[in-house]
Structure 1
Amino acid sequence: MQYFHVTLFHKGKKHIELIQARSRLHAVQRIKQLFPSAMVIKVVQTSAPLEEIFQENFLKIKHFFTPQISMSDKIATIRQIAVMTDAGISMDDTLKEVATYTENRALKTVYGQIYHDINAGKSISEAMQSYVKIFGNIAFAMTSLGEKTGNISAAYYRLADMLESMQDNQKKFKKAIRSPLITLAAMAIAFAILIMVVVPKFKNIFIKFHTELPLPTQILLKLEWLFSHYGILFFILLFSIFVLTIYGYAHNKNIKLKIDSMMVHPKFYLLNKIIHLSTMYQFNMILSELIKSGVPIVEALNTSVDMIDNLAIKKKLLSVNENMSHGVDFSEALARTELYKSMLLQMIRAGETSGKLDKMLEKVTQYYEKEYKDFIDNISAYIEPIIMVFIAGLVLLMALGIFMPMWDLSKVVNR
């Protein structure tokens, strides 16, 4: 969320309101909700208030020392709420039961506080809003939807299914890349050991030749010299760059945007496709569910976009609502993002004109789900050739670097 100073003219007076919103357009929409008859003059982005910065940092420190809540635990409790409310048990009793018997201490505290807030007069969605960072915007949206329709159990069943689908895809991705990463790590360690242990034993022999050594041998000796003189410094520098990059990615929006933009660039083989397919699957799944449930398209878009982690893709999808506010059709606004294939845009356009947008978005979601799963299932076939070339290159360098001088020595001896 960003902060904006909105200058408006209301009831004959000029006001300046501080608004927290996703974008300038969203800030104007929020002002219109608060002051329907107001005329917006100017919207200027500003920094967060000092008390908000202190509160955010305090929550980060508190979160660091709080036991983490796994996705499985969240899904289990959400499904439990769905089952109990579906059986006719009141939300008050349901939350009390969940808070009492949930094993995760952090989740127990959260549900205990939600139960307390509801008894203090808050609605379910108002109580849930304080924990959006834990459950996500989609949980808040589905809770609000359940309240509006009077069917919280159906909303929570759908929420649990969506979260399970997202979790399954994350598990598949981690499983698919685990083996290649272990192989690369093992090769890197083996190469470092060879450079630091094996090469020094041959170094004195090679120096005694008093002749120009082959290029592979020179490379190995240079690497050995660098490792022996600057190895510790190199690893400290590498670790520092890694930590600073991670910190900057997590805390600096500009750094995160640059890194996210690089990761979805076509030059980043495999990674760009994984991020694109997984993000578009998640976005379209949530969007179709919200529209199918009767959520207005503008609100559904805002909630769906909020769930996106990659800022480069998020920035493009944020433009959809802005273009629609200027009279552009939904399908055309999506086309301008350049994130959808023409075939999918035709399907969305057909759904828009026929009044079956939710059905077509479901089809689009199924397409991205299939593409993502097929890609993950075959990712080893894409990565293995790269790993094999990498391994072959290291083995060839080591073999030529060690044996070529030996062959030259044997030729001299034979003469």
Structure 2
Amino acid sequence: MYFRITLVERGKRTTEVVEAPNKRAAAAKAKREHPRAVVVQTVETAAPVEDILKKIGKDLQRFSKGKIKEDDKIATIRQIAVMTDAGIPIHDTLEDVANNTANKQLQEIYHNLASDINAGKSMSQAIGPYADQFGHIAIAMTNLGEKTGNFPEAYHKLADILENIRDNKAKFKKALRYPMITLTAMAIAFVILIMMVVPKFRAIFEEFHAELPMPTKILLSIEYAFSHYGLYLLVGLIVFIYAIIFAYKNSKSFKYKMDEILVHPRFYLINRVIFLSSMYNYTLVFGELVRAGIPVSEALATAVDMVDNDYIRSKLETVNANIGRGMSLTEAFEQTGLFENMLLQMIKAGESSGQLDKMLGKVTDYYNMRFQDIIDNLSSYIEPIMLFFIAGLVLLMALGIFLPMWDLGRAVKNAP
């Protein structure tokens, strides 16, 4: 977030734009830079053009480099776990991993991590700036390893989790392959029919001065748009998609609103995938931290970093605050409205019996089971949407083409 700070120093009023997470932090940052000035006003504002251009440049640079392959990332993380478990210092481990990996991006990252650790930073501090490359789960598991003192086990667990995520993505893509091929073929056929067949009806009916039915008018309008503005529409679509992605990454308010929309019940299937994966990651890390003997408040603060969806995250962040007000963990979870009654009863039983870590493991297994069920049956969930979409295209094409043909005889009879 960006804030316009109004400062008064020696009777002179100046303004500057500061990037900070909130107003208080922005004012403090401006005060540090101008210790003799008085902060008069702090107002949220849009990002400066030069900052936007810098971020766009970074995005393009990241896009040109390509994403780090999951297999390469998992292999290096597993190697770090094995080498640190053998007693090799983390600095030497990172240098060795950097020298042995064939991925150029990972080489650069691990060399930077080794340099930062050599400069006195902890592993969690060093890996923090690379959340985009490794994901929040790597940051959370690094914190877990440092807090528990068992870094190798945390990284073995991290590699297992990343392998699970990779396998789920592969299953998800495999399930989507058939529907996407079918819809793509239908879209191509639709465009070909519009561009090659539909225009001929225009000439025929213009000759006989016939009134075109509404479906045909729609098809002709689409054909006209494709013929005259096709390139502009394509460029506009690409720019629009990039603008949405850019705003999602760089505007907290926009990201929060989008995350809230995506988990709304109206978003069929998508809301369940996002919710179940978020809750699985959250309960997994929370349970691991509790099992390792980390205090519940610290475990909650670390586990919430696993949640990428800001809407769900904001609800889970209230748990720690409510516990601080005297609520039990079960009551605090109930206040979020995210947990089913059955799961709340399991957590309550774990609190009462002193076996919270075991019950959290059961809750994690439950979320994982439901998530796996969606992935395994994704095709059957998508089929109704796909059939509806295909039926809509076929109906539009049929009505748009055959209705004029049925009226063609009448148009010929009425011709002068």
- Same fold (TM > 0.5): yes
Computed over aligned residues only, the root mean square deviation of the Cα atoms, in angstroms, reads: 3.7
Does the Cα contact within 8 Å between 1:277 and 1:368 map onto a contact in 2?
yes
Deviation (angstroms), 1:147 = 4.1
Deviation (angstroms), 1:372 = 0.8
Q: Secondary structure at the match of 2:209?
A: coil
Deviation (angstroms), 1:362 = 1.0
Matched, 1:366 2:365: yes
User: Which range moved further: 391-400 or 177-186?
Assistant: 177-186
Q: CA separation of 1:160/1:352 partners in 2, compared to 1, >3 Å: closer, same or farther?
A: same
Q: CA separation of 1:301/1:70 partners in 2, compared to 1, >3 Å: closer, same or farther?
A: farther
Structure 1: tracts of 5 or more residues without a match: 4-19, 28-43
Does the Cα contact within 8 Å between 2:249 and 2:255 map onto a contact in 1?
yes
Q: Aligned residue for 2:320?
A: 321
Does the Cα contact within 8 Å between 2:94 and 2:114 map onto a contact in 1?
yes
Q: Aligned residue for 1:77?
A: 76
Does the Cα contact within 8 Å between 1:166 and 1:282 map onto a contact in 2?
no
Structure 2: tracts of 5 or more residues without a match: 4-19, 26-41
Does the Cα contact within 8 Å between 1:138 and 1:303 map onto a contact in 2?
no
Deviation (angstroms), 1:111 = 2.2
Structure 1: distance between partners of 2:117 and 2:211: 82
Q: CA separation of 1:128/1:259 partners in 2, compared to 1, >3 Å: closer, same or farther?
A: closer
1:247-297, Cα deviation, whole Å (9 max, x unpaired): 211211111112111111111111111111111112111211222122222
Q: CA separation of 1:82/1:273 partners in 2, compared to 1, >3 Å: closer, same or farther?
A: same
Does the Cα contact within 8 Å between 1:92 and 1:118 map onto a contact in 2?
yes
Does the Cα contact within 8 Å between 1:125 and 1:140 map onto a contact in 2?
yes
Tell me the TM-score normalized by structure 2: 0.79
Amino acid at match of 1:402: I
Counterparts of 1:179-198 in structure 2, within 5 Å, are: 179-198=178-197
User: Which range moved further: 138-147 or 60-69?
Assistant: 60-69
Structure 2: distance between partners of 1:143 and 1:278: 20
Amino acid at match of 2:263: V
Does the Cα contact within 8 Å between 1:73 and 1:104 map onto a contact in 2?
yes
Structure 2: distance between partners of 1:174 and 1:182: 12
What percentage of aligned pairs have identical amino acids? 54
Q: Aligned residue for 1:208?
A: 207
Q: Aligned residue for 1:116?
A: 115
Q: Aligned residue for 2:145?
A: 146
Amino acid at match of 1:265: H
Matched, 1:280 2:279: yes
Does the Cα contact within 8 Å between 1:67 and 1:106 map onto a contact in 2?
no
Q: Aligned residue for 2:10?
A: none
Q: Aligned residue for 2:337?
A: 338
Q: CA separation of 1:341/1:145 partners in 2, compared to 1, >3 Å: closer, same or farther?
A: closer
Amino acid at match of 1:317: L
Q: Secondary structure at the match of 1:327?
A: coil
Q: CA separation of 1:92/1:234 partners in 2, compared to 1, >3 Å: closer, same or farther?
A: closer
Q: Aligned residue for 2:93?
A: 94
Deviation (angstroms), 1:123 = 4.4
Q: Aligned residue for 2:381?
A: 382
User: Which range moved further: 216-225 or 325-334?
Assistant: 216-225
Deviation (angstroms), 1:240 = 3.1
Amino acid at match of 2:104: R
Deviation (angstroms), 1:65 = 6.5
1:356-385, Cα deviation, whole Å (9 max, x unpaired): 111111111111111111111111112112
Amino acid at match of 1:294: G
Q: Secondary structure at the match of 1:208?
A: helix
Aligned residues: 381
Q: CA separation of 1:95/1:223 partners in 2, compared to 1, >3 Å: closer, same or farther?
A: closer
User: Which range moved further: 168-177 or 58-67?
Assistant: 58-67
Q: Aligned residue for 1:299?
A: 298
Does the Cα contact within 8 Å between 1:67 and 1:105 map onto a contact in 2?
no
Tell me the TM-score normalized by structure 1: 0.79
Q: CA separation of 1:90/1:229 partners in 2, compared to 1, >3 Å: closer, same or farther?
A: closer
1:79-130, Cα deviation, whole Å (9 max, x unpaired): 1122223334444443332122121122222222333344445444454445
Q: Aligned residue for 2:268?
A: 269
Structure 2: distance between partners of 1:327 and 1:370: 33
Q: CA separation of 1:239/1:98 partners in 2, compared to 1, >3 Å: closer, same or farther?
A: closer
Q: Secondary structure at the match of 2:264?
A: coil
User: Which range moved further: 148-157 or 355-364?
Assistant: 148-157
Does the Cα contact within 8 Å between 1:281 and 1:369 map onto a contact in 2?
yes
1:4-46, Cα deviation, whole Å (9 max, x unpaired): xxxxxxxxxxxxxxxx88999xx9xxxxxxxxxxxxxxxx998
Q: Aligned residue for 1:348?
A: 347
1:44-96, Cα deviation, whole Å (9 max, x unpaired): 9989xx9xx89x96994775676643332222112112222333444444333
Structure 2: distance between partners of 1:399 and 1:69: 46
Q: Secondary structure at the match of 2:197?
A: helix
Q: Aligned residue for 2:307?
A: 308
